[in-house]
């Protein structure tokens, strides 16, 4: 028997291993929603919203060779540039 979400759509299970920082980020979005609206978003709701936003922008993986390239493409499409401090941090993490 397949599971369905609240909208009646069939769902599947995805197992993802996230860093503590990534989990904290997702939880932070959820808590921001809770404190500002009184409605808590689940981790699944946050991840689904991010995926749906990418789908709406019709973003493809064409020409993407790595996670970093995908991040850059997404940031470019969102018209956001990384602050220099964050770029330095990413470079340092990459050199480890």
Summarised one tens digit per residue, pLDDT across range 60-70 is 888 999 999 99
Q: What confidence tier does 88 reach under pLDDT thresholds 50, 70, 90? A: low
Residue 83's pLDDT band (cuts 50, 70, 90): low
Does residue 72 sit within a domain?
Answer: yes
Structural domain harbouring 66: 20-94
Q: Rounded CA gap, 64 and 91, in Å? A: 19
DSSP assignment of 31-47, as one string?
HHHHHHHS-PPPHHHHH
Residue 9 lies in a domain: no
Residue 13 lies inside a defined structural domain of this protein: no
Does residue 76 fall inside a structural domain? yes
Query: Per the domain annotation, does 90 fall within a domain?
Result: yes
Q: Judge whether 4 lies within some domain.
A: no
Q: What's the whole-model pTM score?
A: 0.68
Answer yes or no: is 78 within a domain: yes
Question: Tens of pLDDT along 34-51?
Answer: 999 999 999 999 999 999
Total number of domains constituting the chain: 1
Q: Is the dihedral of CA 76, 68, 53, 81 positive or negative?
A: negative
């Amino acid at each position: 028997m397949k599971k369905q979400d609240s909208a009646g759509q069939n769902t599947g299970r995805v197992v993802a291993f996230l860093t503590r920082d990534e989990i904290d980020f997702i939880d932070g979005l959820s808590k921001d929603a809770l404190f500002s609206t009184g409605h808590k978003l689940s981790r699944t709701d946050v991840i689904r919203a991010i995926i749906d936003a990418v789908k709406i922008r019709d973003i493809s993986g064409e020409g993407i060779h790595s996670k970093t390239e995908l991040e850059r493409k997404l940031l470019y499409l969102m018209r956001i540039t990384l602050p220099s401090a964050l770029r330095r941090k990413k470079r340092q993490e990459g050199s480890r």
